[in-house]
A and B are shown apart, each in its own frame.
Chain A
Amino acid sequence: METFMEQLPIVVDSLNVGFLQTLKLFFVTLIGALPLGLIISFGTRSKIAPIRIILKLFIWVIRGTPLMIQLLIIYYFPGLVWKNPIWGGGEIGRFTAASVAFIINYACYFSEIFRGGIISIPVGQDEAGLVLGMTGRQIFFKVKLLQMIKRILPPISNEILTLVKDTSLARIIALQEIIWAGQAFMKGSQGISGAIWPLFFTAVYYLVCNGLLTLLLGGIEKKLEYFR
């Protein structure tokens, strides 16, 4: 049995590798879900009824079912139903499948936040823009977008912090993120077995990461305070 001080570097190394995977999933999801969410939010306000209805149903299904089930479906269904395991068994395949599931799921939540932001801008601004001879596109990008960003920043921050912690759900398809790495030491890994503390120690990583994100998002909010 090794002492705590001997275990620490091994555990921290392993948790770092796991946390890198967590961060990768976090950033990929954010980069994918923010623009996709904006596109979906436009779609739900589309003048064409079928697009609107299909997207509303899609959002209902995605928001109405557990992300864990969505991960299982996206990872296992291609192999089980179509007999074509498109993702493969390796780490890259699991990561890609997890990314797809997270991007779709978070895009739906983001889209509703964006929709709220868009409809919160008074209709008088649209009218003023039209009177000045601006096109719809100009009105959105030059007049409304920045005000919208300012208003939706607090709820988006909420989702971003939740996303950091939700990445741990990807362990259901055996993506080796930080919780998985922490749990490995309970059973025995790299000569350490029965160590319980690494699992609880993972909370520190989440806490520090979310602390930094809170500071960053708070800073952005402050920058946008120059107008009301």
Chain B
Amino acid sequence: MFKKVLTTIMVTAMCISLAACGSGKKDDANSGSNDSAKTESSDTADKDNAADAKEKKEEASEDESGEEAKESGSTDGDIAAVKEKGKLVVGITDFEPMDYKDKDGNWIGFDADMAKDFAKSLGVEAEFTEIDWDNKAMELDSGNIDCVWNGMTLTDEVTSAMDCSNAYCNNAQIVVVPADKADDYQSLDSVKDLNFAVEAGSAGEMVATENGLTTTPVGNQANALMEVAGGTADAAIIDSLMAAAMVGEGTSYEDLTYTVKLNDERYGVGFRKGSDLKEELNKFFKASYEDGSMTKCAETYGVQAAIIEQ
């Protein structure tokens, strides 16, 4: 009797771990190189390696057909779907000067204003939804949002997981240090030995790794600044657009300053794979650059020097 019960339990446990692996893999395949999917699949991956490999094969064939169906579904879908809903759901985070709330709680910023204009050109309203930045590809793929429009750096991670618009804004990763030590840290060589706070999974973390710098990953760019202000990290690497707004005299972090520029990069808007909204936005960017409305909008938020000719 006891043996029987034990076998039943073992068999069910195996079934469940198989099922868990299956769904984990599916999720991973759908969202490309998305961070969170990685965490999730690694959570399930070590349960049963042999079963995992077998599942993978099965999923691969299943996914091809699934992907095709999805693509044919969404290519003629996104613009029509947005119009039908009457709103364009824009995934954002609170990120000055691109998307942030004014004192009345309305979303403003260079990206927010452009998104409102783009939605208007489609004849719909823009609805802003705050998302967890780590989950951006999952938010898109699951259809909870229609685009990610939030000063998103066009990295390999982003471009492989989403269809991105043309770049519209220049950015750079720069080193932020306490102002009183700034004179010592004016070149890449001089900052080699520092301990850097970086946003986990950000472009800043990537450029630090490329340069062989020691990093401490933290939750977001503001946390990275807090680490430097609090002395728990020697320096931080953040976006230059953000640094311009938040670091230096007359800002929240008066004792910090930025010195070395580590790279150049560009911002773009992310859509679901195969979405027809991408081409629509490229057209919109071109039109609004040519009639000067993009530059005018950028001037409102002090980013006019960074925008890219369309």
A contact residues vs B (CB 8 Å cutoff): 1, 10, 53, 57, 61, 69, 72-73, 75-81, 83-85, 87-91, 93, 171-174, 176, 180, 183-184, 186-196
B220 with A89: CB separation less than 8 A: no
B222 with A186: CB separation less than 8 A: yes
A81 vs B31: C-alpha distance in the bound complex, in angstroms?
Answer: 11
A195 vs B223: C-alpha distance in the bound complex, in angstroms?
Answer: 10
Interface CB pairs A-B, < 8 A, 8: A76-B142, A77-B23, A89-B129, A173-B132, A176-B130, A187-B94, A188-B222, A195-B252
Which of chain A's residues have a CB closer than 8 A to the CB of B102? 190-191
A80 with B43: CB separation less than 8 A: no
A78 vs B27: C-alpha distance in the bound complex, in angstroms?
Answer: 11
B250 with A89: CB separation less than 8 A: no
Q: A88's closest neighbor in chain B, by CB?
A: B144
A90 with B129: CB separation less than 8 A: yes
B40 with A83: CB separation less than 8 A: no
Q: Per a CB cutoff under 8 Å, which of B8, B27, B131, B251 touches A174? A: B131
Which of chain B's residues have a CB closer than 8 A to the CB of A61? 16
B253 at the interface (CB under 8 A from A): yes
Which of chain A's residues have a CB closer than 8 A to the CB of B23? 73, 77, 81
Q: Per a CB cutoff under 8 Å, which of B40, B103, B144, B245 touches A93? A: B144
B141 with A80: CB separation less than 8 A: yes
A188 vs B243: C-alpha distance in the bound complex, in angstroms?
Answer: 12
Given contacts A61-B16, A188-B96, contact A80 B132 (CB under 8 A): no
Give the top 6 A-B pairs by smallest Cβ distance, nearest first: A79-B142, A194-B252, A85-B143, A89-B144, A186-B222, A188-B96
Q: Per a CB cutoff under 8 Å, which of B43, B73, B225, B252 touches A1? A: B252
A78 with B142: CB separation less than 8 A: yes
Distance in angstroms from B18 CB to nearest chain A CB is: 13
Q: Per a CB cutoff under 8 Å, which of A173, A174, A194 touches B246? A: A194
B40 with A69: CB separation less than 8 A: yes
A9 vs B145: C-alpha distance in the bound complex, in angstroms?
Answer: 32
A186 with B223: CB separation less than 8 A: yes
Q: Per a CB cutoff under 8 Å, which of B8, B27, B130 touches A81? A: B27
B91 at the interface (CB under 8 A from A): yes
A188 with B16: CB separation less than 8 A: no
A188 with B223: CB separation less than 8 A: no
A72 with B40: CB separation less than 8 A: yes
A173 vs B139: C-alpha distance in the bound complex, in angstroms?
Answer: 9
Given contacts A90-B127, A190-B102, contact A1 B254 (CB under 8 A): yes
Which of chain B's residues have a CB closer than 8 A to the CB of A77? 23, 27, 142
B221 with A187: CB separation less than 8 A: yes
Q: A188-B246, A189-B94 are in contact. List 4 more A-B contacts (CB 8 A).
A: A83-B143, A188-B96, A193-B251, A194-B252
A133 vs B66: C-alpha distance in the bound complex, in angstroms?
Answer: 62
Interface mask (B60-90 → A, CB under 8 Å = 1, otherwise 0): 0000000000100100000000000000010
A57 with B16: CB separation less than 8 A: yes
Q: Per a CB cutoff under 8 Å, which of A53, A79, A172 touches B144? A: A79
A16 vs B83: C-alpha distance in the bound complex, in angstroms?
Answer: 35
A187 with B142: CB separation less than 8 A: no
Given contacts A57-B12, A184-B94, contact A85 B142 (CB under 8 A): yes
Q: Per a CB cutoff under 8 Å, which of A78, A174, A194 touches B222? A: A194
Which of chain A's residues have a CB closer than 8 A to the CB of B95? 187-188
B185 at the interface (CB under 8 A from A): no
A89 vs B87: C-alpha distance in the bound complex, in angstroms?
Answer: 11
B129 with A10: CB separation less than 8 A: no
A91 vs B89: C-alpha distance in the bound complex, in angstroms?
Answer: 12
Query: Interface centre among B16, B27, B93, by most A CB within 10 Å?
Result: B27
Which of chain A's residues have a CB closer than 8 A to the CB of B250? 1
A171 with B27: CB separation less than 8 A: no
A186 with B246: CB separation less than 8 A: no
Q: A172's closest neighbor in chain B, by CB?
A: B132
Which of chain B's residues have a CB closer than 8 A to the CB of A83? 70, 73, 143
B103 with A190: CB separation less than 8 A: yes
Q: A83's closest neighbor in chain B, by CB?
A: B70
B144 with A85: CB separation less than 8 A: yes
Interface mask (B119-132 → A, CB under 8 Å = 1, otherwise 0): 00000000101111
